[in-house]
Structures are given as structure tokens and as C-alpha cells.
Structure 1
Amino acid sequence: MRFLADRTSIPVPFIIHSGTKKESPLQLSPFIIIDYIDHETKMYDALNTPGCSIEEGGILDLNIGEDKLEMLYGQLADILLRLSTPSFPHIGSLSQIDDFVWKVARRSLSMNMNGLVQLGGLPRSKLPDLHTKFNTASSYPEALADLNIEHLTHQRNDAVESADDCRRKFVAWKLFRRLAKDKRLTNPSLEKGPFKIVGVVDWEFTYAAPAERSYSPPWWLLIEKPEYWSKGIETGREYRLKTFLKVMKDCEDIAIQQGSLREEQRLSGPMGQSWENGDFWIMNAVLHSFAFDTVYWQKIDPRFFGPTENPEGAWKERLNLLDEEEKYEMEQLVARKLKEMETSALVWDPNEYTLAFREQLKRQREEVDETYII
């Protein structure tokens, strides 16, 4: 947030103070104190269908006027455009070296990674090393593919529905990883960067990401995530994407006239191309692990490996693309998952706060036991 406030004109709240758990008064957790931004409503509420609750996931109001939509989309487009201008030689999270110098010093912590740990049972030890920085665009999705294979392995419950479902998911991630390793998922001209600042909902999940992330149209144009689009994954986006790209181009024209943007820094063209050639779905799959299976088999697999007679059974036709070691690994995973389905035990990776609380309870019990002994 300090970097964005220092290097861009994006309106971010002023940070009054922040600190670690040890620095907090009650030592409950890390904390941040920021200025309150006075506002009338939220962008979500302005775009959402009246009466559609958050629990329902939210749906773009189809009766919203075009002028109002352009006004709202225009403000968001302007922020995305400003986010895309800073660049770095690595992919990862920023650290402030001194008052004027920032650099990518460690791996990113995205909302997706956080969700895999908090909701998906992924042990934190399986995340990339804290000091990992990615130097190429292709190395990032490759690492995320490895991470999601680990997630499939370690999620204890509800990870798969059957043996074939496990095989289907395993094949998808293995082939996706191979595509990433072969540099087929990223633009060769952007392999060495520059890498762009990307903000996802909350600023704490902001990091320097591959430029392809900035070039991908935002999935939230319809509020719903693509896997929940009411008209299915095949339809429903183009009619709002045109509106968004129009206001994005308007923002670009103004920025170029003001001298704050160069012609080659436009996003509207690459965003439109990303939607047309399917790169949008690659970014969507990388950023939303829990929706990966649906997106991969419907959008990514046919693009790179060709259509199949039976899309539902496409994974069977792709088995010949795995080597013998990968097939053995798959069957080992299937056996493990089927055994886990028999018990559905509750297993998770406790964080340092949970461990500290356990120790506190243990000490309290020991003190009580000692009291009774005396």
C-alpha cells in the first residue's frame, strides 16, 4: 500500500500503523491500522442485482443503465491501468529497502494460495519457499501447478468423488504443468518481464505478477466467478467486456494525452486478444484452483491437445501423454484418496497461533492438575 501511495495516484488509505503479533497490544495477530474512507456504497452493491445477497454470490444487474455501467467500469479501468504501469525484474512480493527503494524480495502470497491453506488443507510447508522469487513468466504457472498437485494430494476430505475423478484431476494438473514447463502458457516476448503490480480485492494480496495477468480481462465484470456464470461457462461475458474495453480505451487515451502512459502500455488491445485467443482462461485457471478442473477440460485442454469425441471422458484419451512414472504416481494417489474417503477424518495444518493456543491450554491443564494434587 505504501508503494502504491508513493508511486501511483491510486487512492489508497493512509497507513497509520502496522505490526506483528508480538507488537499488538493483546498479541492476537498481525495488525494494520488505516484511515477510514468515507463512502456511500460499495462497488459490489452498485453493480449487483438488487435483492441478490452475498450468500447467493452476486449477479450483475442486467437492468443497469449503460451510462452508469460505463461510469463504474471506467473508474475500475483507470485503477487497473495505473496498477499496470510499475514494473519489476522478478515475480513476488515487495519489500521496502529504504525511503525510496523497493524490490521483490520474497514469493507472493495470493488469495488463491491463502485459500488453499485455509480451506483446502494444504500444509504451509508445501508453499514455495518464503524467499523464492520467480525470474521468468513461465516459471510462475509451473510453480503454481506443482502447488496444486500438492493440494490434490494433501486435501484430506472432498478432494475427489471417485477413482476416475481423481485420475481426471491428476491428468489435468500434470498436463497443465507440462504446458507451463514447455513455455506454452505464456507469451515468449514477456518471458523475462517486465512484471507488473497486481491487486486482488484486498491490498495485502498485492504482488508483482507476470504481465499476462494485467493483459487478462477482469473476471468480475459479471460479479460472479466464471465457474458460476448463470448461463454457463461458454456465454455471458462478451456483451459486458465490450463496454469495459471501451472505457479502458478512453482511460488510455486520456493518460496518453497527459503523458502518464505510453502507447505500448495500453491494456485494452491485449485484454481483447486474451479473451479471443483463450489466454484469459489460463490466467483464470492459475488464479482459481478450486475451479481449475472445470476450466481446464472445457477451455484449456481442447486448445492445446485438440477436441475429443467425449469431453467428459477426455482424460482417458490423454492418459497416453503421461509417462509410466506419472501413471504409477497417479494410481498411488488414487489408492490413497480412496482409503481417505473411508474415514473422512478432520485434518489440518495448524498455524503458529493455533499451536500457541494449544500450548496455553496445556499449561492451564497442568496448573489445574497440579492444584488438585496439592
Structure 2
Amino acid sequence: MQTRMCFDDVAWEKSEAIQDDWVHELFKKETLIAIGKFILKYRRGKPIELCDPKAGAFNVSFRMKFEDGRSAIIRFPKPGATMFPDEKVRNEVYIMRYIQQHTTIPVPFVLHWGTKEENPLGLGPFVIMEYIDHVMDLSDVLNTPGFAVKDRPSLDLNFDVAKLELLYGQLADILLQLSTLQLPRIGSLVQVDDFTWEVAQRPLSYSANELVRLGTLPRSKLPRRNETFQSASSYFNTLADLHLEHLTHQRNDAIESADDCRRRYIARLLFSKLAREGRFTASSTNLGPFNIWCDDLRPSNVLVDEHLQIVGVVDWEFTYAAPVEFSQAPPWWLLLEQPEYWPAGMEAWIKVYESRLQTFLKVLREQENVAIDRGRLKDEQRLSRPMPTKLGER
């Protein structure tokens, strides 16, 4: 039964128009000069080149190369794509600093950051970071040969198994390290001082941003800025309410017919019923502690060197303390592509995915054994044990 709603095309066009107008302003000569000077306030050295900007789904970044062989980047959230830019930047800076202090996961070093009001360029909130040298991202490594840049990435089904295990193993180690960062509430981190963080802000998720941007959900329907959750069940209940609100508030492209609307409404009521019955969380994990979870952790945000070693993980903006069950779910990105976009259809995606899932679980267990031997992980903290070996299991 199809219950996932298409996004509002009118809202999508408006979002893209705002982005295009803003990006156009970036290419003005006076703007580029001002950006270069601004970087130099916080990164010492002799600059040799300000590279052309690179645009992602939510950000635009500029790389400045220096004579010492290193580089710095400045990154701005794109208006029209990012609904809560100040909050997004603040969350990302705090979580990167937290991960840097508590794990060996390579994340960018933050040189300086600020809110919209603190940016003299008038380009919104910003973060200036050391650039991580790399050869390519992991999506490029795993992608099917011959695919163009404009094509959606898809795992090369003939990819060497030994290399796949090498890469999956490194990703498994990252997931394991994140799962050991346990926090007492569900929400986003706030840095109190150099060594102290608190869960003091709402969990700003990728889904929340998209519901407002493309689902025309009023911002007032989201949790309050300082609202956190003390139990997984309360968070799942909130998500269930948001699904219902989305169906009520999306202006265009929400339904196809009265029967379609009825199906979607019933599905959301059933989800809400299951959430209120506590079906999505166990009593042993309902009250935490909760794991660090990144909505946007995927191969395209993982940087590797010429030896296929991970040298950086970027784009942490939608990261927060979440229910343990999020970490225990099989990673959706094992095939790079989501099932709804798989060319041969859902059943074909499941067949290929489950074979790759066995590869991932194998290396995950190996990484767990290493971490346990080194005292970094307890046996009861294994992710492989609760993680389903086939889709649909729980």
C-alpha cells in the first residue's frame, strides 16, 4: 500500500527559485573578493587560489588553497533549501566537536563559525573549516562504471568483494563508534564549555527540514526549539503526529483521489496506534541512554584516499541523539540507491540488498570483535546482534 506522499511541486519550484537567485549573487566579483578576505581573517597563510564554489543539496562551499599545500573551506547553508539555517550550522559545529573529542572518526576541524547576524557578508550563517585532502568520495568508488554525474548513483554489482569488505568494514567501525556515544535524552547537542555538552535542543532531522520545505508543514507544528525527549516512545508519538499533520497541511500533490486519501489517513492512524502501544521500542531501551544518529551519513559524505582508506566524514548537520532502534536498523545506503528509485523495482532491490547486507554484517561482527578486544566496546553493545539479517525481521 503506497502511503508515502509526493512533495508539493509548487513548494519545490519556489525552493529552487530562492536557491538559484541566492547562488547567482555569489558569483558577483565583489562577493567573491569579500568571501576570500573573510576566510583569511581566520586562516593564516599565503593564499594562492579561491576555487569555484561547489553546491550540494543544502550548502554551498568555497575552497581556498594556500601556499603551504593545505586548504580551508567556508560553507553557507542555501536559502530555500535549509529552513533553519542558524540552528543547522550550530548543531553541526557542536556535534563535530563532540565526535572529534570522543571518537577517532575523522571530521573537519572548525576554524570559526557564526550565525546570520554574525556574518558581515550578509550571506547567512557560516562555518570555516580545514579542508580534508582526499581523492574521491566513497560513492564515487562504489558507483557503477559509466554512470554520468547527473545519474543517480547505484552500487556496482560486480565490485570486488574484498574491496567491498574493506570499505564496509571502515563504515561499520564508524557506526560502532557513534553507537557508543550515549546521551540521556533525545535531541541536539549544545556545547556548554570546552569539555561539556548537553542535550538541550530539539532533534533537527532531515525529515523535519523537508516537511517544512516541500511538505508545506507549518513550522509551528514541529517540536519547540528547546524541546527534548526523555523517552523513545514520546519521540515516536511526536513523529506519528507529524505524519498526520503533514497529510492535513500539504497544499498540493498530497493525494490522488478520495480512496488514496483514505488509505494514507488509515496508514497514519495505524502508525500512531503502534507508536502509542510502544511497538517501536523495547522497555529496556525506552528511557535510554540514546545513541548519536546522523540522518545524512552515507557514502557520498565519506572521503577516501588513494588506498581506499577513509580520511574524512562530512555533512553532520542532521545529527542528534535518537532512539537506539535507529542505530540497530540495517543501513539503507549499502546499495547507494534507495529502493523506490531502483530501476528494476522493489523486489530486485531487496534481493540485491539482502546479499550485500550479509557482507556488511560479516565485517560488522569482525569490527565488533576488534573493538571488544581493545576495550572500546562491550559485548552487550554489539549492533550485529539486534540488527536484522533479512528485511522485515525484528
TM-score with structure 2 setting the length = 0.68
The residue number in structure 1 matching 2:98 is 3
The residue identity in structure 1 corresponding to 2:373 is Q
Q: Say if 2:299 is the partner of 1:204.
A: no
Residue 263 of structure 2 aligns with an amino acid whose one-letter code is R
What is residue 122 of structure 1 aligned with on the other side? 217
CA contact (8 A) 2:354 2:391 kept: no
Residue 307 (structure 1) aligns with: none
Instruction: Work out the CA distance in 2 between the residues paired with 1:44 and 1:118.
Output: 26
C-alpha distance in 1 between matches for 2:391 and 2:251: 38
1:54 Cα deviation after fit: 5.4
Cα distance per residue 1:14-34 (max 9 Å; x no partner): 001111001112222111111
Identify the residue that residue 48 of structure 1 maps to in structure 2: 143
Shift, 1:170, TM fit = 0.8
**Residue type at the aligned position of 2:340:** E
- Correspondent of 1:213 among 317, 321, 326: 326
Q: Hey, what does 2:368 align to over in structure 1?
A: 252
Q: 2 CA distance for matches of 1:182 and 1:268?
A: 26
Work out which of the residue numbers 173, 180, 188 in structure 2 matches 1:93.
188
* Matched positions, count: 278
How far the C-alpha of 1:277 sits from its partner, in A, is 5.0
Query: What amino acid is the match of 1:260?
Result: R
1:65 aligns with 2:160: yes
CA distance in 1, matches of 2:149, 2:171: 20
Change (3 A) 1:130 1:278: farther
Q: Give the unaligned 5+ runs of structure 2.
A: 1-95, 297-314
1:239 corresponds, among 347, 355, 367, to 355
**Contact map agreement 1:193 1:210 (CA 8 A) in 2:** yes
State the AA in 1 paired with 2:171. L
Cα 1:44–1:141 shift into 2, 3 Å? same
1:265 to 381, 389, 392: 381
Q: 1:125 to 1:22 in 2, by over 3 A?
A: same
2:42 paired residue number: none
Equivalent runs, 1:307-346 vs 2, <5 Å = none
d(CA) in 1 for partners of 2:150 and 2:276?
38
Normalized per residue, the structure richer in helix is 1
TM-score (norm 1): 0.72
SS at match of 1:18: strand
Q: What's the secondary structure of 1:32's corresponding residue?
A: strand
What's 1:134 paired with? 229
Match of 1:371 in 2: none
Work out whether 1:194 is the aligned partner of 2:289. yes
Q: Determine the structure 2 residue equivalent to 1:36.
A: 131
Structure whose alpha-carbon radius of gyration is higher = 1
Partner residue, 2:170: 75
Cα–Cα, structure 1 residues 77 and 181, in superposed 2: closer, same or farther, change >3 Å?
A: same
Could you tell me which residue of structure 1 aligns to residue 110 of structure 2?
15
Letter in 2 for 1:41: M
Closer, same or farther: CA 114–73 of 1 in aligned 2, 3 Å: same
SS of structure 1 residue aligned to 2:189: strand
User: How far is 1:119 from its partner?
Assistant: 1.6
Give 1:188 shift: 2.1
C-alpha displacement of 1:233: 3.1
Structure having the larger proportion of residues in strand: 2
1:280-319 map, 5 Å: none
Q: Alpha carbons of 1:62 and 1:157: their partners in 2 closer, same or farther (altered >3 Å)?
A: same
3-state SS of paired residue (1:157): coil
What secondary structure sits across from 2:318 in the alignment?
strand
Judge conservation of contact 1:59–1:222 (CA < 8 Å) in 2. yes
Query: Is the contact between residue 88 and residue 208 of structure 1 (CA under 8 Å) also seen in structure 2?
Result: yes
For 1:53 and 1:209, locate their aligned partners in 2 and report how far apart those are by CA, in whole Å.
36
Aligned to 1:304: none
1:360 corresponds in structure 2 to: none
1:147 matched to 2:263: no
1:276 CA displacement = 5.4
Q: 1:111 to 1:33 in 2, by over 3 A?
A: same
Q: Secondary structure at the match of 2:251?
A: coil
Contact 2:233–2:281 (CA under 8 A) maintained in structure 1: yes
Aligned partner letter, 2:266: V
Cα deviation, 1:175-229, whole Å, max 9, x if unaligned, reads 1011001101222221111100012322011100000011111000011113233
The percent of aligned pairs where both chains have the same amino acid is 57
Shift of 1:9: 1.1
CA-CA distance at 1:231 after TM superposition: 4.3
Q: Given the superposition, is the C-alpha separation of residues 6 and 80 from structure 1 closer, same or farther in structure 2, using an over 3 Å criterion?
A: same
